[in-house]
Amino acid sequence: MAKRILSGIQPTSDSFHLGNYLGALKQWVELQEGNDAFYCIVDLHALTGEIDPALLRKRILASAAQLIALGISPEKSTLFVQSHVSEHNQLGWIMECIAGFGEANRMTQFKDKSAKGGADSARVGLFTYPMLQAADILLYQAHYVPVGEDQRQHIELTRDLATRFNTRFGDTFQIPEGYILKSGAKIYDLQEPRNKMSKSSGSAAGVLEILDTPEANAKKIKSATTDAGREVRFDEKDKPGISNLLTIHSALSGKKISELENEFAGQGYGDFKGAVAEVVVEYLRPIRARALELLEDERNLVQILHIGADKARTVASKTVAESYKNLGLVL
């Protein structure tokens, strides 16, 4: 039987970056085949940070366009925006009433994000974020949740909450499993290769954006920090910069890392970086073009999202009704 897949991504940047793609979105595309996939642009989660209305609107649309351009097919999977399906808020509240304050307080993403802005500026919504995420997943009775390594703890919490609910109130939720790529999932900043590629930390020069021009991305790769020595060899401890570039090349070209080490044996870092730039730029060129084309017809794009939301709501409303009934709420 086809497995139900659910994942979500925040519309918090003008463009997704290569880490988002290789760590998460590439798997989304693969998992559409033979599964029943639901992919959600989690705009309500994006409200837990700084809110700029004009920018948020633009980013939600840009996210949708990029997902489609990267290969998420609105026919094969259900692609929708979280705020279009109000069941997310309904089940989110239930999850907040199931979760303990202590376990929510142990979430490292909350600790990291609240520490960055200073504890006083963190919103309550940032604290309750993982319970809304649990609702995103449980609403669709998902078997698998493809995410990057950094989301492991949120998936564990979701499983705990679902199990607790089922035990206390009767079988209601499928217990989901994380679907986390073992290797190659983590992409690092080109300038600071010990930090993960991320739009919120590090330098703009260290992040490869899907919607950036081919010239800009080529330049970033050619100016990537490399390491002492001159050998193109995978060694994350002593050669984090070169290892990161090997990971990127391998993920996009499909060549094994050992193959690449042989191919570039005896060549300098400059030649290697030129080759990586070529692979990245040619991979992203058609994707960027398609995304920009989709963004030119906003009405059509929003219509695609509304169709997705209708499909999502059909499943989500059943789960909410079932959980309300099991909780003793009068329907």
Taking the complex as a whole, the smallest distance from the CB of residue 272 to ligand TRP amounts, in Å, to 31
Beta-sheet strands, E only, within the chain: 4-9, 36-41, 78-81, 144-146, 177-179
Taking the complex as a whole, the smallest distance from the CB of residue 88 to ligand AMP amounts, in Å, to 17
The rounded distance, in Å, linking the Cα atoms of 226 and 273 is 9
Q: Which residues contact 306 (CB under 8 A, 6 or more apart)?
A: 84
Beta-sheet strands, E only, within 10-69: 36-41
Q: Which is nearer to ligand AMP, 94 or 276 (CB)?
A: 276
Helix, strand, coil percent content, the chain, rounded in steps of 5: 60, 10, 30
| 234-273 binders of ligand TRP (CB under 6 A) | none
105's tokens: 């307080």
* Residue 199 appears among annotated catalytic residues: yes
Half-sphere exposure of 263 (CA within 13 A, CB side): 14
Taking the complex as a whole, the smallest distance from the CB of residue 295 to ligand TRP amounts, in Å, to 22
| 196-255 binders of ligand AMP (CB under 6 A) | 196-198
* Residue 113 appears among annotated catalytic residues: yes
Q: Which is nearer to ligand AMP, 20 or 226 (CB)?
A: 20
Is 5 in a helix, a strand, or coil? Answer: strand
Residue 302, classified by CB atoms within 10 Å of its CB into exposed (0-12), middle (13-18) or buried (19+), is: middle
State the maximum Cα–Cα separation within the chain, in Å, rounded to a whole number.
73
Could you tell which of ligand TRP, ligand AMP, none binds residue 206, using a CB distance below 5 to 8 A set by kind? none
| 111-150 binders of ligand TRP (CB under 6 A) | 133, 136-137, 145, 147
The rounded distance, in Å, linking the Cα atoms of 134 and 89 is 11
Q: Which is nearer to ligand AMP, 20 or 90 (CB)?
A: 20
Backbone dihedral angles phi then psi of residue 197, each to the nearest 5 degrees: -65, 125
Q: Which is nearer to ligand TRP, 138 or 281 (CB)?
A: 138
Quick note: the x/- pattern for ligand AMP over 53-72, rule CB under 6 A, is --------------------
Cβ–Cβ under 8 Å, residues 280 and 248: yes
> Any contact of residue 151 with ligand TRP (CB under 6 A)?
yes
Among residues 196, 220, 239, 273, the one annotated as catalytic is 196
Query: Of the ranges 55-63, 161-169, 182-190, 290-298, which one interacts with ligand AMP (CB under 6 A)?
Result: 182-190
Sign of the alpha-carbon dihedral angle for 297, 292, 69, 19: negative
Quick note: the x/- pattern for ligand TRP over 9-48, rule CB under 6 A, is xx-------------------------------x--x---
* Residue 237 appears among annotated catalytic residues: no
The rounded distance, in Å, linking the Cα atoms of 222 and 178 is 35
| 141-170 binders of ligand AMP (CB under 6 A) | 147-148, 150-151
| 7-26 binders of ligand AMP (CB under 6 A) | 9-10, 12, 19-20, 23-24
Active-site residues: which are they? 113, 196, 199
Residues of this chain that interact with ligand AMP (CB under 6 A) are 9-10, 12, 19-20, 23-24, 147-148, 150-151, 185-187, 196-198
